[in-house]
Every structure is written in structure tokens, then in C-alpha cells.
């Protein structure tokens, strides 16, 4: 949610930003906000005036009673009653208008960074960097589900019987590899100076509304029936929610946190659930990184965060690209974002999002009331999030880039301690 003062003072800038995001249907929201804001401010002004008048008249009532001017006192009391009736109507009208105002404010996108490329959707995202040698395989690489099954590591049929499409059983060495990657990611981030956390896996609706847009919530979140609780789609949600209505100390910033959680997503939309593999599923696990910092530091932290992810995947022998998201591909709360996409030797192209790094400036902080105290007063903090790793999806890139012609899979040096010293996984005869 952007600062309403920006709409008051520079509505054309806000409209220009809406056009950059190809959301022209929201242009009228800016005019509605200005209109509602003026109405609310006028009501507040009238209310303040009436309260001052009521206080003055209340003082006169006491004076009249002391002077035994009962009739005059009763006339003034009647006037006070009318003032109270009007104030009650003002309060009710102000509440209704504020609710409408908040609805529009929550729908107006955050102001994107000046260097964000302009484009309608992810097809117009821009490659900024490639890391690692994108090798071409000299043998045919099978589809990832076939690789997993050859290693006796995937059972989709049983998962369909127990849970339906979009779920899976990982078994044997593949299940161990999945856990090894998460354990390595945890230790990797701790070594980078981040504090390790395990957050709640369910959050209330006020936190959901604070961390994401309504459209994202509808397409992603599972709601617990009969309770004000949602299953998290990423630990970013509960990690940022942890600081709701909190005043942080300036000297404690930045907060550098890394969190583990299972994640649950409906995956409603154009992509759909993949029936044969594990690329797009309802349930997965994730290691996340979160930074809460001062506004002047957020862009430097944005760069540091995606560079940490790049270093992590390089250590796992996974070539990848850094793809900057264009204006139309940015969620409404984001100022700037990039995806790390893995090289696919099977498809001979970069394919498969390993993770996403995002700077949301003060959008989440305004919604949730996350502030810090300075010598000059209170300021809203900036929040950033980035995927460290999210298996089982990243297993696809790992397997393709570490597969050998005989069907075995190399285990990089950094994972061997977590895999009981194994340097390879072999197909089952």
C-alpha cells in the first residue's frame, strides 16, 4: 500500500505507474481515493468543530445550573443532544468512507523502481546475467519424472489415491537428497550471518492481507474451514507477519532471517497442476531469506540477496540465469523483482524458476504497521524476501544437470556430508 500523501500531492505519478503496469482499469481508483479522502477530511474537520462547540456548551450548562437558570440549561442540553446525534452520524459515515478508501488503496500498485523494464507479462522479462556453463548433453536426458522413477524415488500413483493430483511421495535416496538440500541451505544461510527460524505454518487473515494482494490470496491460499486461519504459501508470510504492529530499534536493523517451512498452494490460474511430474504441485518445502531494513539500504540488500541465491546454486553445479521481471509481471506490492531460472540440458534452454527475489519497499510495512524509531520520529521499514531453495521443484534442475549417461546422478561435494558420504545415486535394477 502506497503513502496516501503521494496520491494527494502527485496523483499523475501514481497514474503513470499504473499505466506502466498495464492496469488502466485502476486509473479511476486514484480519483476515487482523492474524492473519498477529501470527504473524510471534511467530516473530521466538521467533527472537531462540533466537539469544540459541545465542550463550550457543556461548560455553559454548568454555569447556568449554578446560577439557577434551569430553562437556559435545558435549552443548551437540547443543543448538545443534537450535536451528539450529528457526531454519531459523522462517525458512522467516516467509518464507511474509510472502508471504501482502504479498498481502493489496497488495490493501487506500489511505485516500481525506475530501472524496471516495461512489459505486459513474463514473456517480456529481461535476462540480466548468466552463471555457470550451460552445457549440452551428449546423451538423451529423460523427463524428470522418469529419472526419479528410475532411481526409485517418486510415487505419484499412490499420492493420487491418497490426496489427488499435485501431490507426491518421495522415497529412498531421492527423499534423502531432498532433505539434504534443505539442510545444506539452512547451514549455508547461517554461515552468511542470517538467523534461522521455523515459523507458524498458518496465519490469520489480517496477516494475509498485509503481505499480499487479494488476487494473489485467492489464487494461492488454502483456508482452514470454520477458522480465521490460512495455510502459508511461503514462510515469508508468517515471517513478515511476526513484526505486525511492532516498533523496531534503528540500531537492530537490518534484520537478516532465514526460515524453513512446508508451503501449500492452490495454484489456481493459467499454469495448472502438472499431473506427471513435480514442477507445479500443491505442497512443497522451502528455505527462505527475509530482510527488514531501513529504506536507504533496501536496494543494496536486494542485490545482495539474489547474489546469495546465485552463489548457492552455483555450489550445486546448476547453471542459471538472472531474469529481471518486467512491470506487468510484478505483483502489486513489489518495487523490483528477479527470478533465477535453471538451465535445462533436456530442453537446451533456461527453464524452471529456482526462486524469486523481491523488494517490496514499505508496502507490507504500511499494511502491517512495521516501523522503527529514529531521532526524527517514526519511519516505515522496508521488507525484502528471496527464495534460497524450494524442493522438490529444484530437484528437476539438479537431476538434469548432474545426470550421467548410465543413469546415475552425481552428488556435489557440498551435499555429501548430508548424504552419508555418497558421491552418486544409482538407478535401481
- Which residues contact residue 88 at a Cβ distance below 8 angstroms, ignoring those fewer than 6 apart? none
Same domain as 98, residue 127: no
Q: pLDDT, tens digit, for every residue of 99-125?
A: 999 999 999 999 999 999 999 999 999
SS3 398: helix
Residue 185 has φ and ψ, to the nearest 5°, of -60, -40
Grid cell, residue 12, equals 499523475
Last-in-domain residue among 82, 107, 132: 107
| Residue 49 buriedness (CB in 10 A; 0-12 / 13-18 / 19+) | exposed
Query: What does the mean pLDDT of the chain come to?
Result: 93
Last-in-domain residue among 79, 107, 135: 107
Answer yes or no: is 235 within a domain.
yes
Same domain as 284, residue 138: yes
Stretch 135-162: mean pLDDT = 94
Band (pLDDT 50/70/90 cuts) for residue 268 is low
Stretch 79-100: mean pLDDT = 94
State the CB neighbour count (10 A cutoff) for residue 100. Answer: 15
Domain residues for 68? 4-107
323 sits in which H/E element: strand 320-324
**DSSP secondary structure letter of residue 24:** G
24 in Cβ contact with 18 (< 8 Å) = yes
Same domain as 211, residue 260: yes
Render the burial of 396-423: b for 16+ CB within 10 Å, e for the rest: bbbbbbbbeeeebbebbebbeebbeebe
Stretch 266-288: mean pLDDT = 79
Residue 32 has φ and ψ, to the nearest 5°, of -65, -40
Same domain as 411, residue 307: yes
Q: pLDDT, tens digit, for every residue of 11-61?
A: 999 999 999 999 999 999 999 999 999 999 999 999 999 999 998 988 888
294 in Cβ contact with 253 (< 8 Å) = yes
pLDDT, position 381: 97
Whether the predicted pLDDT of 66 surpasses 90: no
Band (pLDDT 50/70/90 cuts) for residue 72 is confident
Same domain as 390, residue 366: yes
Whether the predicted pLDDT of 272 surpasses 70: no
SS3 374: strand
Same domain as 67, residue 132: no
Whether the predicted pLDDT of 280 surpasses 90: no
| Residue 90 buriedness (CB in 10 A; 0-12 / 13-18 / 19+) | middle
Q: Tell me, what CATH number does 375's domain have?
A: 3.30.930.10
Same domain as 208, residue 298: yes
Grid cell, residue 235, equals 514462510
* Number of domains comprising the chain: 2
pLDDT, position 214: 65
- How far apart are alpha carbons 335 and 410 in whole angstroms? 39
Q: How far apart are the first and last CA of the chain?
A: 57
Same domain as 66, residue 208: no
Q: pLDDT, tens digit, for every residue of 222-256?
A: 999 999 999 999 999 999 999 999 999 999 999 99
Q: pLDDT, tens digit, for every residue of 159-176?
A: 999 999 999 999 999 999
pLDDT, position 114: 96
Same domain as 403, residue 369: yes
Same domain as 347, residue 265: yes
Same domain as 150, residue 8: no
Q: pLDDT, tens digit, for every residue of 321-368?
A: 999 999 999 999 999 999 999 999 999 999 888 999 999 999 999 999
pLDDT, position 352: 81
Amino acid at each position: 500500500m502506497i503513502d496516501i500523501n503521494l496520491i494527494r500531492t502527485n496523483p499523475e505519478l501514481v497514474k503513470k505507474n499504473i499505466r506502466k503496469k498495464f492496469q488502466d482499469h485502476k486509473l479511476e481508483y486514484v480519483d476515487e481515493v482523492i474524492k473519498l479522502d477529501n470527504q473524510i477530511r471534511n467530516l473530521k474537520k466538521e467533527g472537531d468543530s462540533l466537539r469544540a462547540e459541545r465542550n463550550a456548551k457543556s461548560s455553559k450548562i454548568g454555569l447556568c445550573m449554578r446560577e439557577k437558570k434551569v430553562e437556559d440549561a435545558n435549552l443548551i442540553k437540547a443543543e448538545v443532544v443534537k450535536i451528539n446525534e450529528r457526531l454519531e452520524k459523522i462517525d458512522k459515515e467516516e467509518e464507511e468512507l474509510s472502508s471504501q478508501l482502504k479498498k481502493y488503496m489496497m488495490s493501487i500498485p506500489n511505485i516500481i523502481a525506475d530501472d524496471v523494464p516495461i512489459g505486459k507479462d513474463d514473456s517480456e522479462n529481461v535476462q540480466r546475467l548468466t552463471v555457470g556453463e550451460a552445457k549440452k548433453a551428449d546423451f538423451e536426458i529423460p523427463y524428470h519424472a522418469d529419472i526419479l522413477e528410475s532411481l526409485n524415488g517418486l510415487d505419484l500413483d499412490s499420492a493420487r489415491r491418497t490426496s489427488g493430483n499435485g501431490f507426491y511421495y518421495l522415497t529412498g535416496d531421492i527423499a534423502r537428497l531432498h532433505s539434504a538440500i534443505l539442510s545444506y541451505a539452512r547451514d549455508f544461510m547461517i554461515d552468511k550471518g542470517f538467523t534461522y527460524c521455523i515459523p507458524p505454518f498458518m496465519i490469520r487473515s489480517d496477516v494475509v492481507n498485509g503481505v499480499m494482494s487479494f488476487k494473489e490470496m485467492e489464487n494461492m491460499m488454502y483456508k482452514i474451514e470454520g477458522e480465521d486461519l490460512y495455510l502459508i504459501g511461503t514462510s515469508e508470510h508468517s515471517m513478515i507477519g511476526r513484526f505486525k504492529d511492532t516498533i523496531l530499534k534503528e540500531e537492530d536493523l537490518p534484520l537478516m532471517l532465514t526460515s524453513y517451512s512446508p508451503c501449500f498452494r492452490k495454484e489456481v490460474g493459467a499454469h495448472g497442476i502438472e499431473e506427471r511430474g513435480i514442477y507445479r504441485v500443491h505442497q512443497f518445502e522451502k528455505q527462505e531469506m527475509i530482510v527488514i531494513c531501513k529504506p536507504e539500504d533496501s536496494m543494496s540488500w536486494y542485490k545482495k540477496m539474489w547474489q546469495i541465491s546465485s552463489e548457492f546454486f552455483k555450489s550445486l553445479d546448476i547453471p542459471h540465469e538472472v531474469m529481471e521481471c518486467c512491470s506487468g509481471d510484478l505483483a502489486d506490492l513489489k518495487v523490483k523483482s528477479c527470478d533465477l531460472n535453471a538451465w535445462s540440458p533436456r530442453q537446451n534452454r533456461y527453464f524452471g524458476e529456482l526462486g524469486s527475489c523481491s523488494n517490496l519497499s514499505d508496502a507490507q510495512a504500511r499494511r502491517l504497521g512495521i516501523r522503527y524509531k529514529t531521532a526524527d520520529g517514526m519511519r516505515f521499514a522496508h521488507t525484502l524476501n528471496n527464495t534460497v531453495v524450494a524442493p522438490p521443484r529444484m530437484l528437476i534442475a539438479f537431476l538434469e544437470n548432474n545426470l550421467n549417461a548410465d543413469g546415475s546422478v552425481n552428488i556435489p561435494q557440498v551435499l555429501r556430508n548430508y548424504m552419508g558420504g555418497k558421491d552418486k545415486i544409482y538407478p535401481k535394477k
